[in-house]
Every structure is written in structure tokens, then in C-alpha cells.
Structure 1
Amino acid sequence: MLAVLFASFSRVASEIQRICFTKDWVVVISTAEKVKLEKVNSMLMAIDQSSSLILPVLTGRLLDSFPWEIVCGSIIAYNFASWIFEATILLRLYNTTEELKSKESEIKSDDELRGLKDIACNSVNLYFKQTSWMAGFGLTLLYMTVLGFDNLAASYGQRHGMSSEYIGYFRSFGSLLGLLGAVGFQFVASKVGLLWTVMIGLVWQNVFINTSGVAVLLPGSTMDVSGFLSNTTFSSWTQSVVNQIAQPETQDFVTVPYDQVSFSVTLFFIGISLARFGLWLADPAITQIQQETVPEHQRYAVFTVQTGFCEFFSIMKDIIVILLPFTSLFGLLTLGSCAFVFTGFMLNVFYHIKCGVSCHNKKMHMPKEADNEMSELPERQSLVEKTNGKLEE
């Protein structure tokens, strides 16, 4: 219970730090240092993916070779050391960047102060008033999925005889592709712009996510929805859920050699791995679109709501898994995940169409100043007419 409590507080603090640094600070720093925002976002994503490249294989080796107590202690020590290192870097960065210590626009009146209070109270409304909300909300839908390298997919593989080390290889392969996507983001964005980068990334992701969806329909898959419905009553289902929560199953599954793992399961993990390239090509592109279109004084409120939606869909996914903790239904959850990923893609398609489709203009997502000029046109026209009238007199 204490472990869950401490992990929850740690997660909250981590999310606050991540929002501040990766969504707001990077914009200020890139402007102060006169570095392209694409390059900064790409470097941050590359560092994140690099850390995920080696650790999965190392963790898999530790889990297969040492008791859980030793592995747990090692992870705690690593996290504590990395926390000290990260805090030192952030503090030094803050002290050496003057632009981080002051806002671009200062509050000059009570009206502006009331406006900021309204923003704090109506962050969700503010979020949906942004021109880029469809792109951001489409990204949040990608969290409503079991098709990630978390404990759900790992448990699915282990139930089919995959060892932790074998799963770790797939995780590292997926992280490598994610690293390539993060590094390639700045080059793709510089060539075709952010909107087309999002399209390329999400099309790639959907192709291989749907490959995982097809995998659960192939022979060798344990998906059996009709069998579950015919052999399960409401009372037996609720009792199974309660038992799973009260007495979680052991993680000591029987493993088989690599060449004896079902092709369906292997294809499932291949699809997840290959999809990482598209995800980490589109993710920084969508984030940068929001960074460039959301005003500075609204940026933290908007990205807080963005993170809230991400966590909401992630929690909803976890609740559904808790209510349906059956291997025979995991394929159904996989197909549902494919549907949510596709919906997120379609929202970005609609946003792209709304901004305008162009193969030359790389800034189609930016708010058009022409709208403000058009709103002032009647006043200017009236002023010109009055001036002409006086000249004629």
C-alpha cells in the first residue's frame, strides 16, 4: 500500500516537472539560445528513447537471473541517483537562463489578473478554444490502448511462453525505432512541415498497429470471445474479477524457446515495435504545433489539461483491463485499441484539412494574422471615407 502511495505522489510530481520543462521551458530556451524548436524537441525525444533502448533488455536479464527483491532494490537505487542528477541539471539550467525567470508578458491591470483566474478555473474550456485542440486531443486518444510496451503486453507475451528477455529484445527494438523517429523528426519537419510530419507518422503507426490487430485473429491466438460469452455468467465474471484483484496471479509463467513461440504472438509484438517509429515521429510534431499555437500565458493551463486527458484515457484502459482480465478477451481489447488509434489519426486529418492542405507552405498551422486585419477593415474603411470627404470639402 505504501509503495502504491509513494508511486502515486512521485507520478504527480514527475508529470508537473515534465509539463513545465518539455512543453514550456523548451520554447523559452530555444528562443533564448536561438535554436530551432524542432531540434530541441527532437533531442529531448531522442534522449528519452535512448534511455528506453538498453534498460528493457537489462531489466529482462535481471528478472530472469535474480530474485525480485534484488531487482527491486536495484531499480530503487537507480531512480534515486537519476533523480539527484536530473534535479542538479534543471537547477543549473534555471539559474543560467534569465528568460526562465520572467514571463514574456507582465500583468499590468486587474482585468488581466481576472483573466488569468478565469483561465485557471476554465482550463478545459480554454483547451477546446485552441486552434490546435483536435491535434492534441487526437494524441490523447493514443493512450487508450493496450498496444504499448507496458505490463499488459508483457503479460500477454509471457502467458504465451515468451521469456522476459525475449520481450526485452522487442522493447529495445521498439525503442530503437522510436529513437530513429525522434531523431528523424527534425529532418522530416524541415522538409515537409509539421502537419505532413504528423500525417506520415500516424499513417505509419496505424499500419503496424493494425498488424497487431490482425495478429490476434490468426491461428495460435487465444482470442475466444464467443467461447467466453457462452461459458461465463454474470456472477462468475464478477467473482473472477474480485479474485483477480484480491489474489493476483503469479508472474512465474512457463517459457519456451524463441522458435516455439506462436507466430501470432510474435507478429503481435513486431507490429507494436514497428509502430513506435510512427508514434515518435508524430508525437513531437503534434507537441510543437501546440507549443507554437498556444499563447505563452495559456501554455501551462492547456498542457495540464492535455496531460489530464492522457492520464484519463490511460486510467480508463486500466479499468477496462481490470474488468476484463481474461486472456481470451485480450484480442478484443487489442481491436478496441486499434479503433482508438485510428480515431486519433482521423482527428489529426480533420485538423490538417482545417488548416489547409499545402505542399509548399510549412506554417499552415500557425494562426493567421489576416483574420485580425480583416476585423479591423470596416473601421479603416470608415476612416478613409471620412478623410476623403474632408479633402473634397
Structure 2
Amino acid sequence: MEKDIELTDLLNTEDNQELFENGPSLHHGKVPLETVFFARRLLYVSHFFAQFAEIAWQFCLTLFLSACTHYQSLILVSTYGLSLGLAVCFGGSKIGRFIDQTDRLYAARVFIWSGNLSVVAATAFSFILLSQSDELGPTEQINQDEILENSSWLKRRFNGVPLNWSSVLALIGIHVFGSAAQVLAQGFLVAVERDWAVVLSRSAAESLSANEPNRDDVGHSFSIWLSDTNVAMKQIDLGCKVAAPAAAGLLIPFFSGEATPSPHALRWVCILIGIFNTAALVVEYVCTARIHQLLPALANKEAGLENAWQNDSCIGMESRMENKSMQRSPSALRRLSSELGIYFEERPVCWAGLGLALLYLNALTFGNGIMTAYLLYRGMDLSSVGALRGVASAIGLCGTFVYHLSASRLSLEATGMWSISYQLTCLVLCILSLLTSVKRWAFILLVGGVCLSRIGLWVFDIAVTQMQQEQVPNDRRGVVGGVQQSLNAGFGLLIFVLGFFFPHPRDFFVFVSTGFASVALATLLFAFAVYRVNK
């Protein structure tokens, strides 16, 4: 099955040009299989640009906020992460309900336009902040340390942060628009990964059954297509996590002439990020519109189609009644309670999802900015940090191939169980890094444990995602996906709460211990889910 994601290659053949210009022709009421292939490749293109733009933006923003304190504090990285977590935590379920109740194409366009324009606004505020940060140099910050030595606890937390009015307004703008961009990006991810990919895979399975009338394993074909699509999209995610930080880590020092760039050297990167997100907006908009045109099933959000596959008519009717009840209720607390109720009714997959959410209570990753800021504090240059993040993502990319092999031989439950256990074993190396006094070995154990654990992390992530896709009915998929994103963000923001109370990089041992404990608890929860399945 083709997984090429180059847009120009998609339009080179006459068949693909005809599909792009004229739309699909129907065969016995089914979409031709070649049309589904083409739609899936367009889905990959849209997903690639969305993920590359998002990852490049988040990586560069971590550098912007760290540079504002001249790499001497985790406080801005922590407050930004906390604002992201709160926004997704409280907005995730509402986004999920919006997805369930709104036309698929309209929802996707809202996420694309609003999300990318929010990033552009946040980069403009970042430019202002970086322009102001050079007014307070490292020497002045050292003097400020002496002044604040006997000051209040709160003032010491914000030591080194530029606090003039223009910088404060810029920081507020970054936190507000950056949080909005994250919520909208998660909404687009839920819509595409949890919904569009399922409809596409179902269309492929129906096309196969139309081409082979004697075929009686349509459900099996659906599962294979869905698994292949999930793996390919995760490979795109991880490929972007390799390319975007590595490119930034190499190109920023090249253009700035500094291994650890100053705020002044970083401000022009803001303009490049804004330009790239504008270009990504155009590509995502065109691709999603064309996919929607190619697959008529995307225009149908009735629960009946899903019921035909999963025999969940009673559940679907109950869910619709709950939806109407919640629409009548003005109470946000009641809506939240109902959404959590819907999520936890999906047993035992809810326990697997809760285990996945617990993995976000873990700073042992290059993705949340805290470990990046810690390595910069310990003297590692930016190019090395970017390269290590790329290595970790490349190892995680191997996990997608491992998942494909494992899922073809084992059940999803068995695949998830061995992968989360493997991740926990790798993080033992990070705990050992706290016990050695040799700096070089501590680095090797810490970075090695984090990098090796990526295989287990992504195998587990894909396994739980597919369990939810296959076991959650169509008319609940948006709510369950939104609540899952909220839970992920809720646990993730706890890391940044820790960063607020332990802002100095020398307290990184707190994050190492917390990360190991969270993965251990996730292992126990998933083991309970497997027990409930087998009971």
C-alpha cells in the first residue's frame, strides 16, 4: 500500500489529475478503490503539513521562552505548558462535541483557519518579546538575583523574566494565542485521526467487498486498512518530530552565528514560522476539501452506518438522547459530568485510555520543553539538543514498524501490554542516572533511557488509539476523543505545575521520579483493562 506524501507526485499521473479535477465515479454505489487510495494520500499530505508546522512552532517557542531568561529558568516554559494544558483540558471535550455535531468539512476548515492564524498571532507577540528581552542582559540578571535573594517566594519564581509592560503584554499574547492554537490543532487531530481515517478505511473495505462479491471478511479488511492508516500517520508524526527540531537546531545557529542564540538572533525566526504556517494553511485547506469531495461517506454522520458494523444501535440511540439532554442543560458542570460518563461507559477501553493519558505526566521527553531547557542549562549546545530530539523521534519511528509486526501476530491488548512494560523498563535507566555522580554517564543514562523508551511509547499509543477507533461508536467518537485529549492535557499540565514549584533546572530529579511513577501506574491500569477483557 502506497504511503507517499509528496503533493507533486500525487498529481503527476493522468488518473490522479482526473480524480483531483472531476471527482470519483461510482461503481455499484461504492467509491472505487483507486479513489480511496488517492484520498488517503491527500490525507497524508494534509497531516504532514499540519504536524510539521505544529512541531516546528512548538520547538521554536520553547527556545523563545528559554532565551528570554537567558536559559537560566524553566518558569516561562512551565507557565506556557500550564496554559496549554488548561486550555486543552477544559476545551477538549467541547471540541469533541463540536466535531460530533458539525459537518465534517466545516469543522476541519474552522480548525485549519483558526489554528494557523492563532500561530501567526503568537509569533508576532514572540517577535515583540524577543525584541524587548535584550534590554535585560545576563549581567543585570545576576545582579537581580542578588536583589531578589531576600524577596518574596513569588518574585524569586519569576527571577530573570522581563517584566516591563510591553514584555508582559507580549507574554500574555503568546500564552493566549498559543493555547488557542494548541486546542484547535488537537481538534483537527481528533477529527482526522479518530474520525476521517475510520470513514476512509470503511470506504476501502466496502470497495473491496464490491470488487470481490464472495468476500466475507469485510470487517477484517477494515481493521487492516485502519491499522495501515494509523501506522502511516504515526510515521508522518514521528518523521516530522525528527525533521522539524533537527532542522531548527541546525539552521538557527547557522543563521545566528551562535551555538546558543540570543533573543535578538531568534526574533527573525518568528517571521519564518509565520510564513510557513500560512503556507501550511493553504495546503491543508485544499487537501481536506478534496478528500471530502472524493469520499461521499464523509458527508454522512448518521449512526446507522456505524451500527451496521458494530451492532451498537441501542448505544447510539442512548448517546443521542444524552446529547439532546446535554444541549438543553445550561450547566457546564452537568455537561462535563455527562461527557465523562460517556467516556467511562466505554469499558474496558476507557481504562486503556486513562493509562495513555498518564503517560503525559512525564517530562522525560524532548517534546514538552522542560527536558530541552534542562539540557541547555547543563551546557549542551542547541544543535546537539535538536539532533538528540531527532534521534529519539527516529527510534520512535521504528516503533511504528514494530507495531505493524506485533499487531499482525498478537491482539491489540497483548501489543499494548508488552509495549508499556518495555517503556517502564527503559525508564529505569533514567532513575539510575540520578544515582551516578559522573556527569557523562548521567547524560548517557538519561538520554539513552528516554530515546529507547520511544519504541514502547508509540507502539502503546497506536494500540490504544486503534482500540478506541474500533470499539467506540460513531456518534460517540468525537466526545470520547475530545475527553481523551482533555485527560492527556490534564495530566500533562501537572508537569508544568511542578515546573512552577521547582523552576530551577537543578531540581530536574523531581521530574525524573514523577515520570517513572506515572508510567508505572499506566502499566497497572492497562493490565487491569486487559484483565477485564479476558474476564
User: Contact (CA 8 Å) 1:178, 1:277: kept in 2 or not?
Assistant: yes
1:98 aligned partner: 296
Measure the CA separation in 2 of the matches of 1:118 and 1:278: 41
**Distance change in 2, residues 1:193/1:70 (3 Å):** same
Deviations 1:98-133 (A, max 9, x none): 111112426999987533224673010111111111
Q: 1:298 aligns with which of 467, 476, 490?
A: 476
**Distance change in 2, residues 1:155/1:118 (3 Å):** same
Q: 2:363 aligns with which of 143, 146, 171?
A: 146
Deviations 1:214-239 (A, max 9, x none): 21222146xxxxxxxxxxxxxxxxxx
**Distance change in 2, residues 1:79/1:210 (3 Å):** farther
**Distance change in 2, residues 1:62/1:71 (3 Å):** farther
User: Contact (CA 8 Å) 1:160, 1:265: kept in 2 or not?
Assistant: no
Q: 1:40 aligns with which of 222, 229, 237?
A: 229
Measure the CA separation in 1 of the matches of 2:444 and 2:247: 21
Q: Trace 1:58-73 onto structure 2 (pairs within 5 A).
A: 58-65=247-254, 66=256, 67-73=265-271
Measure the CA separation in 2 of the matches of 1:186 and 1:103: 30
Residue identity in the other structure for 2:273: I
User: Contact (CA 8 Å) 1:148, 1:272: kept in 2 or not?
Assistant: yes
1:56 aligns with 2:56: no
**Where does structure 2 lack aligned partners over 5 or more consecutive residues?**
1-171, 206-221, 257-264, 305-312, 328-334
Deviations 1:300-354 (A, max 9, x none): 1111111001111111211111111122321122111100011111111111122
User: Contact (CA 8 Å) 1:56, 1:169: kept in 2 or not?
Assistant: yes
2:387 aligned partner: 169
Deviations 1:282-303 (A, max 9, x none): 1011011111111111111111
1:18 aligns with 2:189: yes
Q: Trace 1:207-222 onto structure 2 (pairs within 5 A).
A: 207-220=425-438
Measure the CA separation in 2 of the matches of 1:179 and 1:83: 26
Structure 1 stretch 67-76 or stretch 341-350: which is displaced more? 67-76
| Pairwise CA distance, 1:3 | 2.7
**How much is the aligned-residue C-alpha RMSD, in angstroms?**
2.2
Deviations 1:228-262 (A, max 9, x none): xxxxxxxxxxxxxxxxxxxxxxxxxxxxxxxxxx2
Measure the CA separation in 1 of the matches of 2:453 and 2:274: 30
1:80 aligned partner: 278
**Distance change in 2, residues 1:38/1:168 (3 Å):** same
User: Contact (CA 8 Å) 2:319, 2:476: kept in 1 or not?
Assistant: no
Measure the CA separation in 2 of the matches of 1:76 and 1:264: 38
**Where does structure 1 lack aligned partners over 5 or more consecutive residues?**
222-261, 358-393
Measure the CA separation in 1 of the matches of 2:244 and 2:403: 23
Q: 2:490 aligns with which of 300, 304, 312?
A: 312
User: Contact (CA 8 Å) 1:43, 1:183: kept in 2 or not?
Assistant: no
User: Contact (CA 8 Å) 1:45, 1:183: kept in 2 or not?
Assistant: no
Measure the CA separation in 2 of the matches of 1:119 and 1:202: 36
1:114 aligned partner: 321
Measure the CA separation in 2 of the matches of 1:3 and 1:324: 22
Residue identity in the other structure for 1:135: A
Q: Trace 1:351-366 onto structure 2 (pairs within 5 A).
A: 351-356=529-534
Deviations 1:340-390 (A, max 9, x none): 011111111111122128xxxxxxxxxxxxxxxxxxxxxxxxxxxxxxxxx
User: Contact (CA 8 Å) 2:358, 2:522: kept in 1 or not?
Assistant: yes
Q: 2:350 aligns with which of 133, 141, 144?
A: 133
Structure 1 stretch 105-114 or stretch 171-180: which is displaced more? 105-114
Please give the TM-score of this superposition, normalised by the length of structure 2.
Answer: 0.56
User: Contact (CA 8 Å) 2:402, 2:459: kept in 1 or not?
Assistant: yes
| Pairwise CA distance, 1:210 | 2.2
1:160 aligns with 2:378: yes
**Distance change in 2, residues 1:38/1:155 (3 Å):** same
User: Contact (CA 8 Å) 2:320, 2:475: kept in 1 or not?
Assistant: no
User: Contact (CA 8 Å) 1:216, 1:265: kept in 2 or not?
Assistant: no
Measure the CA separation in 1 of the matches of 2:533 and 2:461: 18
1:346 aligns with 2:524: yes
Residue identity in the other structure for 2:364: L
**Distance change in 2, residues 1:326/1:355 (3 Å):** same
Residue identity in the other structure for 1:207: T
Measure the CA separation in 2 of the matches of 1:155 and 1:216: 18
Residue identity in the other structure for 1:12: V
Residue identity in the other structure for 1:134: W
Aligned residues: 317
Measure the CA separation in 2 of the matches of 1:15 and 1:157: 28
Measure the CA separation in 2 of the matches of 1:216 and 1:117: 53
**Distance change in 2, residues 1:183/1:93 (3 Å):** farther
| Pairwise CA distance, 1:70 | 2.5
1:378 aligned partner: none
Residue identity in the other structure for 1:54: A
Q: Trace 1:315-326 onto structure 2 (pairs within 5 A).
A: 315-326=493-504
1:189 aligned partner: 407
1:280 aligned partner: 458
3-state DSSP of counterpart to 1:290 = helix
**Distance change in 2, residues 1:88/1:56 (3 Å):** same
| Pairwise CA distance, 1:192 | 0.8
Structure 1 stretch 58-67 or stretch 122-131: which is displaced more? 58-67
